[in-house]
Amino acid sequence: MDPLPKSQSSLVRLLMILEWVLLSIVASAQVLLALRQAMPMLLIINGLGLGIFAVLGRVKPRRKLSKQIYTLAEFLLIFCLVILSNIPLPKLLFVVLVIRNCLLWEGYQRARVTGIACLGAFITLTYNLFFNQNSPISIHPD
């Protein structure tokens, strides 16, 4: 028996489908970028990172401390992918993080995680613009 009401269960399934669609878009962008730049090492690192991020989506912690560690691990993984290997479309990974954490947290905690994710997306965009030499959108004085 499904513990969720029918309407809530349908919403959860829809959000899970959206999560996988967004992860597929990021993975496809990564493959295209790696082929264009002929950097197979980036493809391996980002593929491994995306795989870990996808597996994290299957974990559903119950206790408050476990939820906090889970959320922190998601943030750290995204930041590591941005800083170490220039993952394309990190903002979509933050959207996936928000989807997962809206199902995980309630009330104020949900809003807090969403706000931190927005700040994280802004930080990664700023990093790509000003500090990442390999970014296709970087701004560097000659």
**In a 3-state reduction of DSSP, which class is residue 57?**
coil
| Whole-structure pTM value | 0.79
- Distance CA(10)–CA(7), nearest Å, equals 5
pLDDT tens digit string along 46-104? Answer: 889 899 999 998 888 999 999 999 999 999 999 998 888 778 888 899 999 999 998 89
Angular region, 113: left φ>0, alpha ψ -120 to 50, beta rest: alpha
Neighbours of 112 (CB within 10 A): 13
pLDDT for 53:
92
| Phi and psi, residue 112, nearest 5° | -65, -45
- Whether residue 139 is predicted with pLDDT greater than 80 in this model: the reply is no
| Domain spans of the chain, in order of start | 8-130
